[in-house]
């Protein structure tokens, strides 16, 4: 085997590994959150703490989905400080507010945020940085469209168990976790939002594969 072929094989292997890692870090955490939102929206007896957890997460996502865009204007050290302060304070207050025994949702959300902001922590090419910023902008648009759709068509959304009775029956230390009939809007928003994120990542991956094949054929 010639040195040229060995080099090409090594390059292809590196590309496939990076592609697999990119898909893992981008798709799986979002897919897991989509599953959590969908299952708790449709489940017969939803866990009130888990419901409140996801309601708070999708509300906080309004801030975090714009953070990557703002951080691009900062120097790296300021971006890291900004991320640690914002996410650290959120995680601290969140843990105080809700006695979560299962941290999987928070871990998945942290992975989503880290992937979205990784250009602030690692040396990436300008092309990769533009791609990540593009995804952050796309995520912001998807978020606004998702919550806008669910708010406008709230009367048509299936509320299932998210009724006044559900909120009043699930009380912890005198608090109903902030649960209300509007919880269905937030749960449906999270379901649509993370589903569309997964679809957008997979579609972009498909387009990149098509572009790579075209380049190989034209070479």
Bridge partners (DSSP) of residue 172 are: 175
In a domain, 159, yes or no: yes
The whole-number pLDDT of residue 143 equals 93
In a domain, 24, yes or no: no
In a domain, 17, yes or no: no
- CB atoms inside a 10 Å sphere around CB 157: 17
Which has more pLDDT, 8 or 26? 26
Domain count, the chain: 1
pTM of the model: 0.74
pLDDT beyond 80 at 193: yes
pLDDT tens-digit profile of 144-185?
Answer: 999 999 888 877 776 655 555 555 555 543 444 444 557 778
The whole-number pLDDT of residue 146 equals 94
In a domain, 177, yes or no: yes
pLDDT beyond 70 at 135: yes
The whole-number pLDDT of residue 49 equals 76
In a domain, 118, yes or no: yes
In a domain, 9, yes or no: no
Mean pLDDT of 192-198: 94
pLDDT tens-digit profile of 59-109?
Answer: 888 877 776 666 655 666 666 677 677 767 776 676 666 555 556 667 777
In a domain, 21, yes or no: no
In a domain, 87, yes or no: yes
Bridge partners (DSSP) of residue 175 are: 172
Average pLDDT, the chain: 72
> Vertex 204, ends 201 and 209: CA angle to 5°?
125
Structural domain range at position 163 = 30-218
Q: What is the residue-wise DSSP string for the chain?
A: --HHHHHHHHHHHHHHHHHHHHHHHHHHHHHHHHHHHHHHHH-SS--HHHHHHHHHHHHHHHHHHHHHHHHTTS-HHHHHHHHHHHHHHHHHHHHHHS--S--HHHHHHHHHHHHHTGGGTS---HHHHHHHHHHHHHHHHHHHHHHHHHHHTGGGS--TT-SHHHHHH--BTTB-TT--TTHHHHHHHHHHHHHHHHHHHHHHHHHHHHHHHHHHHH-
């Amino acid at each position: 085997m010639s040195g040229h072929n060995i080099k090409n094989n090594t390059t292809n292997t590196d590309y496939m590994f990076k592609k697999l890692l990119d898909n893992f870090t981008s798709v799986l955490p979002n897919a897991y959150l989509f599953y959590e939102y969908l299952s708790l929206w449709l489940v017969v007896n939803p866990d009130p703490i888990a419901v409140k957890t996801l309601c708070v997460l999708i509300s906080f996502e309004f801030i975090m989905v714009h953070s990557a865009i703002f951080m691009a204007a900062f120097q790296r050290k300021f971006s890291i400080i900004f991320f640690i302060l914002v996410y650290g304070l959120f995680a601290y207050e969140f843990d105080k507010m809700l006695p979560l025994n299962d941290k999987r949702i928070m871990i998945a959300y942290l992975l989503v945020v880290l992937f979205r902001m990784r250009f602030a922590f690692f040396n990436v090419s300008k092309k990769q940085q533009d791609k990540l910023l593009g995804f952050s902008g796309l995520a912001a648009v998807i978020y606004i469209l998702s919550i806008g759709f669910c708010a406008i068509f709230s009367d048509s959304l299936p509320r299932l168990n998210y009724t006044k009775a559900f909120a009043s029956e699930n009380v912890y230390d005198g608090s109903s976790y902030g649960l209300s009939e509007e919880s269905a809007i937030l749960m449906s928003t999270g379901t649509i939002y993370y589903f569309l994120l997964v679809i957008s990542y997979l579609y972009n991956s498909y387009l990149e594969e098509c572009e790579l094949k075209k380049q190989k054929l034209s070479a």
